């Protein structure tokens, strides 16, 4: 969810009704002039990208502070890769589903990197959670997230006000102690291996790379779906040398940053050129 800040041009980003960051390069939006909102998924280098299922549910707040939905007749779909099937297999396919009736309800999209067994849904421990947190009924919120997330803003007491004020509204999604077990590095994954792999992948001389050993984030963390690798222990490789990124065209970009799994040495994610500035 994105909520416009009270001052300036930027927006706060919320995950499961908790603030996790803010935009930095958002252009000015003139009040009353918005005529298009894009939701969904855009990827660069689909061969290397795995994105677990994302359920996009879009509502907008009017100038009168009223949440509304978009009429189905005003919704258009654009899918640039074929649907995943027996004839179109990962990694060059999307899995999508549009759930709607009279109003836009949900656009679900994922981009598998390879065929794999489905992961079970994440579980959230509820023990020790407060009944009310920042004015939000926590039991009602968890029930709503399980049953009908699209209705939470209107059905859960205090939630609509919380997301526009405090912006930390879901106590169960907060890990108070932030303790996460480190994933040990396999003996077969060495600095030299990562350096050679990154040099070949990004067409950059090995001596122009900076390779940092695996580290996990510390402090309070927001829970993520099980398929999300953002918290996985990883090697980080950076360079300011020109690179084609993962596109391997004649166009080159200034520098890149890439993360490789500490457990397998597999490329997890990467950015290059201006993509790194926007991340």
Q: Is 217 exposed, middle or buried (0-12, 13-18, 19+ CB in 10 A)?
A: exposed
Specify whether 37 is located in the same domain as 161.
yes
Per-residue pLDDT at 32 = 64
Specify whether 197 is located in the same domain as 235.
yes
Q: How many CB atoms lie within 10 A of CB 122?
A: 11
Per-residue pLDDT at 208 = 94
Per-residue pLDDT at 226 = 42
Whether 104 is covered by a domain: the verdict is yes
Specify whether 38 is located in the same domain as 96.
yes
Look up tokens 């001052």; give the residue. Answer: 7
Domain extent, residue 227, equals 191-278
Cis link prior to 229 (omega < 30° from 0)?
A: no
Specify whether 147 is located in the same domain as 238.
no
Answer with the one of 114, 144, 175 that is the final residue of a domain: 175
Rounded distance between C-alpha atoms, residue 223 and residue 67, angstroms: 26
Q: How many CB atoms lie within 10 A of CB 76?
A: 6
Tell me the pLDDT of the chain (279 aa) as tens digits: 788 888 888 889 888 889 888 988 888 777 666 677 777 788 877 777 788 888 888 788 777 778 888 888 888 888 888 888 888 888 888 888 887 778 888 888 888 887 655 445 544 444 556 788 888 999 999 898 888 887 888 899 999 888 888 778 888 887 543 444 444 444 467 899 899 999 998 999 999 999 998 865 444 444 444 444 555 688 999 999 999 888 767 888 999 999 988 888 888 888 888 878 755
Rounded distance between C-alpha atoms, residue 172 and residue 156, angstroms: 15
Specify whether 203 is located in the same domain as 274.
yes
Query: What φ, ψ does residue 238 adopt, rounded to 5°?
Result: -130, 155
3-class secondary-structure state, position 144 = helix
Specify whether 95 is located in the same domain as 153.
yes
**pTM of the predicted protein model:** 0.42
Specify whether 154 is located in the same domain as 45.
yes
3-class secondary-structure state, position 199 = helix
Counts of helices then strands in the chain (DSSP H, E):
5, 16
Specify whether 245 is located in the same domain as 204.
yes
DSSP state of 95: E
Rounded distance between C-alpha atoms, residue 2 and residue 192, angstroms: 41
State how many domains the chain has: 2
- Which of 106, 96, 228, 235 has the alpha carbon at shortest distance from 173? 228
| Sign of the alpha-carbon dihedral angle for 262, 264, 268, 271 | positive
């Amino acid at each position: 969810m994105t909520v416009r800040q009270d001052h300036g041009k930027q927006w706060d980003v919320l995950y499961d009704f908790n603030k996790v960051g803010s935009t930095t390069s958002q252009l000015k939006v003139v009040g009353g002039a918005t005529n298009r909102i894009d939701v969904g998924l855009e990827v660069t280098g689909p061969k290397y990208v795995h994105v677990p299922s994302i359920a996009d549910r879009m509502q907008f707040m009017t100038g009168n502070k009223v949440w509304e939905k978009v009429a189905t007749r005003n919704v258009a779909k654009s899918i640039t890769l074929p649907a995943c099937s027996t004839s179109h297999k990962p990694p060059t396919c999307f899995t999508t589903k549009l759930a709607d009736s009279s109003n836009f309800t949900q656009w679900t999209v994922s981009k598998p990197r390879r065929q794999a067994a489905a992961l079970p849904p994440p579980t959230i421990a509820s023990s020790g959670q407060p009944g009310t947190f920042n004015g939000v009924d926590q039991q009602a919120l968890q029930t709503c997230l399980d049953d009908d997330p699209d209705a939470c803003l209107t059905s859960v007491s205090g939630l609509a006000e919380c997301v526009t004020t405090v912006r930390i509204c879901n106590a169960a999604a907060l890990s108070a102690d932030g303790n996460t077990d480190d994933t040990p590095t396999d003996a077969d994954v060495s600095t030299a291996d990562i350096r050679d792999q990154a040099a070949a992948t990004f067409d950059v001389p090995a001596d122009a790379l900076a390779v940092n050993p695996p580290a996990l984030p510390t402090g309070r963390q927001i829970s993520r779906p099980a398929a999300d690798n953002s918290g996985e222990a990883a090697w980080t490789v950076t360079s300011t040398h020109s690179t084609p990124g993962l596109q391997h065209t004649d166009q080159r970009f200034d520098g890149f940053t890439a993360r490789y799994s500490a457990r397998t040495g597999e490329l997890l994610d990467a950015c290059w050129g201006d993509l790194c500035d926007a991340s």
